[in-house]
Amino acid sequence: MITLKKEDEKFLFLFDRWRIDSADLTGTRITIRVPLGAELTVDGQPVPETELRKKSEEDQDFELGSMFVGKHEFTVKLDGFLEYTDTFPVEAKDYMDEPIVTVTTNHMAPNLDNQNKARDLVQEIIPKVYECVLSRSAFEYFLSQVATESTTQAVLRPKYEALLEKNTDPDNHLMFVDFEGFESAVASTPSTDDCYAVCVTTKLRYTANYMVLQDEESKLVPIERKKKIRTVFHYNNGQWQLYDSTIFDKFG
């Protein structure tokens, strides 16, 4: 239905002047929030960078202005991720620059390259954890070796310190460990913050030597076993960061 609205000013001072009232046809001051650095397409049309209204450290708002009511399609492109496509409905109202849609990396899936990076990180981190344990290194040194999300460091500290204590027991302590046969699967996992999270489930084999005190004599005890390790990474500031892992569980 089209509504005509009479204007105050007359045409030629004699005739009523009418215009189409678009209040029931459009939503106004519409914006979409996407991850920082992402490209946005709406209804098949790329939204230029000139329409960026504001940026933060993690996201940016594209200003779309007024749009007709109804359903609209959009696509978000971001390096390292598969394209994300969805729709949003527009109502006949003023959105007051509050994002009609917010897309975070938590909504997006990593491309094959990023999945491989997550697999490679697990294969790097597992030996690093035990290098730190064998050298009796403090948690701060571990943080210097492994990119770890700042919000989870307070949780990981006691786990690392407990692992260090268990493996440095004078009566039963780790002397050597080696890993091989890494097989990892990468899957999305829920995240409580606005970053993308993956869980990497890794199967591997390990060989370890423990020095064990038995009958007042120290004996070297070899162990060869298989283990499954679950590791969660969050994608922050352009990189995967360790969030949590069963790496910190004691072997043996």
pLDDT tens digits along 157-208:
999 999 999 988 888 889 999 999 999 999 878 787 767 888 999 999 999 9
Place of tokens 């002047």: 17
Q: Residue 6's pLDDT is what?
A: 54
Place of tokens 């390259």: 113
Reply yes or no on whether the pLDDT at 216 is more than 90.
no
Q: Which of 168, 89, 83, 157 is nearest to 130 (CA)?
A: 168
Q: 29 or 17: whose pLDDT is higher?
A: 29
Q: Residue 104's pLDDT is what?
A: 86
Write out the H or E segment, with its range, that includes residue 164. Answer: helix 153-166
53: exposed, middle or buried (C-beta count within 10 Å: 0-12, 13-18, 19+)? Answer: middle
Q: Residue 79's pLDDT is what?
A: 86
Confidence class of residue 17 from pLDDT cuts 50, 70 and 90? low
The model's pTM: 0.67
Return phi, psi of residue 196, to 5°. Answer: -85, 140
pLDDT tens digits along 23-35:
678 899 999 999 9
Cα separation of the two ends of the chain? 74
Q: Residue 4's pLDDT is what?
A: 46
The DSSP symbol for 192 reads S
Q: Which of 8, 208, 52, 64 is nearest to 126 (CA)?
A: 208
pLDDT tens digits along 88-122:
999 999 999 999 999 988 788 888 888 899 999 99
Query: Is the Cβ–Cβ distance between 205 and 162 less than 8 Å?
Result: no
Q: Residue 12's pLDDT is what?
A: 47
What span, in angstroms and rounded, lies between the C-alpha atoms of 160 and 158?
5
Helix (H, G, I), strand (E, B) or coil at 229: strand
pLDDT tens digits along 116-158:
999 999 999 999 999 999 999 999 999 999 999 999 999 999 9
What span, in angstroms and rounded, lies between the C-alpha atoms of 168 and 134?
8
Reply yes or no on whether the pLDDT at 36 is more than 50.
yes
Helix (H, G, I), strand (E, B) or coil at 137: coil
Q: 53 or 6: whose pLDDT is higher?
A: 53
